[in-house]
Amino acid sequence: MDYQRNRQAQELFDGIADQYNWVPDLFSFFQYRRWRRDLVSRFQVGPHSTVLDVCTGPAGVAMLTAQSHRCRVVGVDLSPEMLRRAQHNISSKGLTGQVPLVMGRAEDLAFASESFDAVSVTFLLRYVDDAESTMREIVRVLKPGGRLLSLEFGVPSNPIARALWHVYTRRMLPLAGALVSRGWKNVGDFLGPSITQLDQSNTEDNTRELWNRLGIQDVQVARLSLGGAVVMSGVKGNAAQNTGR
């Protein structure tokens, strides 16, 4: 497989890792923290559970999950610089033994089938070439009865909020990114159009259908911040379909 979008993702995230601890909070008007808390609150895991956090980035979701639920969380990311930043963050919180990190791709996870009690995925699908096969691979490593959680950007449905969102993501975000670094300028230029494209190509109904097809049941959707973020959750059935390699 060519992994063209993976390479684009690595280039983008390697260039912004040093500022990732604070820039997303600032650029989202501190809503990013709320989104992560909402995602983590939906886990149903405990001290004996092991969770996989795909696209862990600087390990914000992974650390919050480990702290909130006292469980073990394995973070996976393809960006060496993001993993370096994640390791620094984990060490500073005293979570080194609780949150191990693995470099890898979501399309080809280096774990046995049904290894994890829950899986979280954050802002992934714009960076993969085949959304369905990637989600199939993620579901493969989830235990039956385990919960799958996803956090993704959304587009507000309210016309006024949507118009303001377009102005912000198309005009203000690239300008704000340029004030931080060249890497964040590149992210600002990329993000707005990619959110719109993903929202159009992976609608809520399409995504729900995909999850159902892969054996994820009881799919629930929560739209946060006027629809600027979307949290999805579901449970893997005992006889999930199409999850094998």
Q: Which residues pair with 151 in a beta bridge?
A: 122, 231
- Neighbour count for residue 131 (Cβ, 10 Å): 17
CB 164 within 8 A of CB 190: no
pLDDT, mean of residues 28-41:
96
CA distances from 26 to 23, 41, 125, 173, 176 (A): 5, 22, 23, 11, 10
Q: Which CATH class is domain 4-153+203-236?
A: alpha beta
Tell me the residue length of the chain: 245
Instruction: Give the distance from CA 72 to its chain's centroid.
Output: 18
Give the span between the Cα atoms of 145 and 206, in whole angstroms: 22
Q: What are phi and psi of 87, to 5 degrees?
A: -65, -40
Q: What angle do CA 204, 138, 242 make, to 5 degrees?
A: 80
CB 136 within 8 A of CB 108: no
Give the span between the Cα atoms of 63 and 69, in whole angstroms: 10
> What is the structure's pLDDT at 2?
54
Instruction: Give the distance from CA 209 to its chain's centroid.
Output: 19
Q: What is the pLDDT of residues 116-126, one digit of tens each?
A: 999 999 999 98
Q: What is the pLDDT of residues 11-24, one digit of tens each?
A: 888 888 888 889 99
pLDDT, mean of residues 42-67:
97
> What is the structure's pLDDT at 14?
83
Closest listed residue to residue 79, CA positions, set 61, 102, 97, 98 = 102
Model-wide pTM > 0.85: yes
pLDDT, mean of residues 219-242:
87
Domain limits of the chain? 4-153+203-236
Closest listed residue to residue 77, CA positions, set 54, 108, 109 = 54
Q: What is the DSSP string of 189-216?
A: HHHHHHHHHHHHHS-HHHHHHHHHHTTE
> What is the structure's pLDDT at 4?
78
pLDDT at 244 over 80: no
